[in-house]
Amino acid sequence: MLETLWFILVTVLFIGFFFLEGFDFGVGMLTKIIGRGDTDRRVMINTIGPVWDGNEVWLITAGGAIFAAFPNWYATLFSGFYMALFLMLIALIGRGVAFEFRSKLESARWRATWDWIIFFGSLLPPLLWGVALANLMRGVPIDQTTNYVGSFWDLLSPYAVLAGLSIVLLFLLHGSLFLSLKTTGELRDRALGFAKRIGAWTSGALLVFVVLSYFETDMFTRHGIFPGMVPVSAGFALLSVPFLIKAERDGWAFIMTGLTIVLSTVTVFMSLFPRVMISSLNPDWSLTIHNASSNEYTLKVMTIVACSVLPFVLAYQIWTYWVFRKRVTPADHLDY
């Protein structure tokens, strides 16, 4: 029972991370795509400046929850995906440093260097997360002692790379819609125009990924050709985005890309449950919520602590977004 509860809580933490960091990463990538000068880029970074580090708390908490609730999952995941997670960590650190440092000097070369670090630091994590999630769904070589026996290059199949590119496109769309809600004038128009152009590419990439999932994973054989309302609703939410943008309902369009991210994350974890890592060598060697979890006493203590602290964390994050809800313009004081 508690194992299932903590599997759901880990899912919720990843939902929060992908939803919030989704537009955050998207804005970071867009600084080099639609930003046409230093002022544009400063405005764009200031739209996420007060919240980006709070968004990453969801990832840290998810990692901590896996470590404490499912130590065997944590050990196999971090040893098997060591290089991918190391690259992701370097990208996140570089991105955070770049946000703080780029406006400390007036030098154009200094700022251009940090701008590229922001771009690649925003591109690499979603790309690697897509690769990681696709491998979790398809299965990785895990032996009978729950050790990962593959290499970094074994993770880079065409299916996994397509998943990474699909998430990059989805986050670019999510980020451009966020910018349309947080900026004004020509920059807002460019963000909305980019969202219009990328919408079809995003839908197409995700559709191909779903079709390949039929052949690459056991999702459809376990749940049937109709996988349920959750993944279907994710598809409809994404397909509604171009129509909402055309109708200039960019707020609703942003909600729909967010809903796509939420439902897609639920779909991934639903396809895994009760497994947490699938062995491609022998299904019986897969890690599940039962053979990967901590003992019951640990899970009870964690549940009490989580129920006590989580409401305050949620309240603080909602308050932060409420305080910084205004649109950012070049006339504002730009901290970043």
- Residue pair 212/166 in contact by the 8 Å Cβ criterion: no
* pLDDT for res 223: 66
pLDDT tens by residue, 253-278: 999 999 999 999 999 999 899 999 99
- Residue 279, strand partner residues: 140
What does the buried/exposed string (b/e) look like for 130-163 if buried means 16 or more CB atoms within 10 Å of the residue's CB? bbbbbbbbbbbbbeeebebeeeeeebebebbebb
DSSP alpha helix (H) spans, the chain: 2-30, 38-48, 52-69, 71-80, 82-101, 108-138, 158-182, 185-216, 219-223, 229-246, 250-272, 296-323
Compute φ and ψ for 184, nearest 5 degrees.
Answer: -135, 170
Between CA 36 and CA 30 the distance in angstroms is: 10
Q: What is the pTM of this model?
A: 0.93
Q: Is 227 helix (H, G, I), strand (E, B) or coil?
A: coil
* pLDDT for res 114: 96
What does the buried/exposed string (b/e) look like for 277-296 if buried means 16 or more CB atoms within 10 Å of the residue's CB? bbbebeeebbbbbebbbbee
Between CA 46 and CA 66 the distance in angstroms is: 32
Q: Write the CB contacts of 14 (distance below 8 Å, at least 6 apart in sequence).
A: 58, 62, 265, 269
Q: Which amino acid is at 262?
A: V
pLDDT tens by residue, 41-74: 999 999 999 999 899 999 999 999 999 999 999 9
* pLDDT, tens digit only, all 336 positions of the chain: 899 999 999 999 999 999 999 999 999 999 999 999 999 999 999 999 999 989 999 999 999 999 999 999 999 998 888 898 999 999 999 999 999 999 888 899 999 999 999 999 999 999 999 999 999 999 999 999 989 998 888 899 999 999 999 999 999 999 999 999 999 999 999 999 999 999 989 999 999 998 999 889 987 777 666 667 888 899 899 999 989 988 889 999 999 999 999 999 999 999 899 999 999 999 999 999 999 999 999 999 999 999 898 888 889 999 999 999 999 999 888 888
* pLDDT for res 150: 87
Length of the chain: 336
* pLDDT for res 291: 93
* pLDDT for res 293: 93
